[in-house]
Amino acid sequence: MSTAGRILSTAAAPSRLQVALSVLANEARALFGALLQPGKVLTEVDQMGKLLLAANALDERDPVRAKLLRRRASTIGLN
């Protein structure tokens, strides 16, 4: 590969610093969103708690359904 090809290929790939800054920016955006809408966060936490309680109650009788409820609880707030 030529020198120009290496420079162009490394320039296209994000550096570790760029990735870290992007992650930091996403975390800051999520924090500010939570601070601006505390009611939404509380509602999501309450919903997660209810799903986990239901999953715990179903563990013995229906473990597949319990696993599904836990998976649903783990994805609340990610969208």
| Confidence tier at 53 by pLDDT (50, 70, 90) | very high
* Range of the structural domain that residue 65 is part of: 37-79
Is pLDDT at 13 greater than 90 in this prediction? no
Is pLDDT at 41 greater than 60 in this prediction? yes
Do 43 and 79 sit in the same domain of this protein?
yes
Do 27 and 46 sit in the same domain of this protein?
no
DSSP string, 47-68: HHHHHHHHHHHHTTT-HHHHHH
Do 27 and 47 sit in the same domain of this protein?
no
Helix (H, G, I), strand (E, B) or coil at 21: helix
Could you tell me the pTM of the whole model? Answer: 0.60
DSSP state of 60: T
Do 19 and 51 sit in the same domain of this protein?
no
Looking at residue 74, its amino acid is S
Task: Give Cα 69 to chain centroid, integer Å.
Answer: 17
Do 23 and 58 sit in the same domain of this protein?
no
